[in-house]
């Protein structure tokens, strides 16, 4: 017999409010690998909502590398990096990432959320404020809250607004931004923000979870695309769960910053290290990203983006200013977003509706994400379906 739990009234009320507002979230179980053509409850769908931008999540070379790494180094890290959980695949991955990105040091984290919590909570504090973009990822905001730091948010991608926040601060601190904004797909004005941080003696931190692997020379991300060197972005956070196709995260920085984070970033100090098998797989993924195949995949993704934008430009919706794999179609109210998502699903296309509080009120949307693993016929299918659904609204 299963146990019977008593649910607090406040919890029931909060859940009912979400239901009434069409804001309840639910888990969908895939019965296939993370590839464009998936199965859910035995039904086939073409998916356009994964962050697997380069199509590496089920790449045979990466799968093989994970198996080989697990066979040699095991699956579990065993303990934190600082006790006895730092294995040779971790060290090799850190060194390879540092060399690729031109930084002195790299520290690995188990997730991107944990990396942002760890970095901001260590570098910010009651006397070290945080200024960040209004549309930054929740983990950047939560990091400032964990640090109990004064937090000010500037208008999205507005450098003049950011400067006003810096000017009003009594002390310097951390200027933090996404590189590519996860819900809008646009790229932060990184060169201008770097110059601003230098002028006011603030530390610039960039979370490039959605840019690394896809943008810039050799896929080095949005900072490379902006022409910035490592010393102009002292703290760079990246994740492996998007273009890399694996899991985990890292921070690239200087020796001194890395030493400081090793002492004071609590999510780093007190967490078991990422699986050495995943570290080995990520090493293989990094090699692919740097290779001719990686470049071919980036070029294919660019072609997909151009085709999609050209096709959708003629539909009765407004495309957002995104040249990345994230191509949102804002529909406004939650009901419309859910209805269009359901209509696409009926046509065999999986594209999840994104609703508040993930995005601001009245900006519910389809967050369409494109992958190098999609074929042209997949794109044609998507655009034909969107034309059918959106012109019948």
**Residues belonging to the active site:** 182, 210, 242
Establish whether 210 is an annotated binding residue: yes
d(CA 188, CA 133): 9
Establish whether 26 is an annotated binding residue: no
d(CA 330, CA 13): 29
**Phi (first) and psi of residue 350, to 5 degrees:** -95, 115
d(CA 190, CA 302): 21
Establish whether 358 is an annotated binding residue: yes
Establish whether 182 is an annotated binding residue: yes
R_g of the chain computed on alpha carbons: 21
Token couple for 293: 């195949």
d(CA 372, CA 294): 10
| Nearest CA among 185, 199, 87, 86 for reference residue 135 | 185
Establish whether 203 is an annotated binding residue: no
| Nearest CA among 178, 185, 193 for reference residue 227 | 193
According to DSSP H, which parts of 57-206 are helical?
Answer: 60-73, 88-101, 112-123, 138-146, 159-167, 190-200
How far apart, in Å, do the first and last CA atoms of the chain sit? 48
Establish whether 112 is an annotated binding residue: yes
Per-residue b/e over 328-346, b at no fewer than 16 CB within 10 Å?
bbbbeebebbbbbbebbbe
Which residues fall in the annotated binding site for substrate?
A: 25, 137, 358
Which residues fall in the annotated binding site?
A: 25, 112-113, 137, 182, 210, 239, 358
């Amino acid at each position: 017999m299963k146990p019977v739990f008593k649910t607090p009234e406040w919890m029931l009320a909060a859940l009912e409010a979400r239901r009434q507002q069409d804001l309840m979230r639910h888990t969908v179980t895939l019965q296939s690998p993370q590839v464009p053509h998936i199965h859910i409850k035995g039904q086939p769908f073409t998916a356009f909502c994964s962050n697997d931008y380069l199509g590496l999540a089920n790449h045979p070379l990466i799968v093989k590398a994970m198996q080989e790494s697990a066979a040699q180094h095991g699956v579990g890290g065993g303990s934190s990096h600082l006790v006895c959980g730092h294995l040779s695949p971790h060290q090799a991955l850190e060194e390879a990432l540092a060399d690729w990105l031109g930084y002195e040091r790299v520290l690995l984290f188990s997730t991107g959320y944990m990396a942002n919590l760890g970095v901001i909570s260590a570098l910010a504090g009651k006397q070290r404020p945080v200024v960040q973009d209004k549309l930054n990822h929740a983990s950047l905001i939560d990091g400032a809250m964990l640090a109990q730091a004064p937090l000010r948010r500037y208008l999205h991608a507005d450098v003049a607004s950011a400067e006003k926040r810096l000017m009003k601060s009594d002390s310097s601190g951390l200027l933090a931004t996404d590189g590519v904004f996860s819900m809008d797909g646009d790229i932060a004005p990184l060169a201008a923000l770097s110059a601003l941080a230098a002028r006011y003696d603030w530390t610039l931190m960039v979370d490039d979870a959605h840019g690394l692997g896809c943008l810039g020379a050799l896929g080095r991300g949005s900072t490379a695309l902006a022409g910035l060197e490592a010393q102009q972005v002292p703290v760079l956070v990246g994740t492996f769960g998007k273009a890399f196709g694996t899991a985990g995260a890292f921070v690239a920085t200087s020796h001194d910053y890395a030493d400081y984070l090793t002492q004071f970033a609590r999510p780093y100090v007190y967490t078991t290290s990422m699986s050495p098998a995943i570290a080995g797989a990520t090493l293989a993924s990094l090699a692919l990203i740097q290779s001719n195949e990686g470049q071919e995949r980036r070029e294919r993704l660019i072609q997909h983006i151009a085709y999609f934008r050209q096709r959708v430009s003629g539909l009765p919706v407004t495309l957002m200013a995104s040249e990345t794999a994230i191509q949102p179609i804002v529909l406004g109210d939650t009901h419309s977003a859910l209805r269009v998502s359901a209509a696409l699903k009926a046509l065999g296309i999986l594209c999840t509706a994104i609703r508040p509080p993930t995005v601001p009120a009245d900006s519910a949307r389809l967050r369409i994400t494109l992958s190098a693993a999609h074929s042209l016929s997949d794109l044609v299918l998507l655009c034909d379906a969107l034309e059918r659904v959106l012109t019948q609204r």
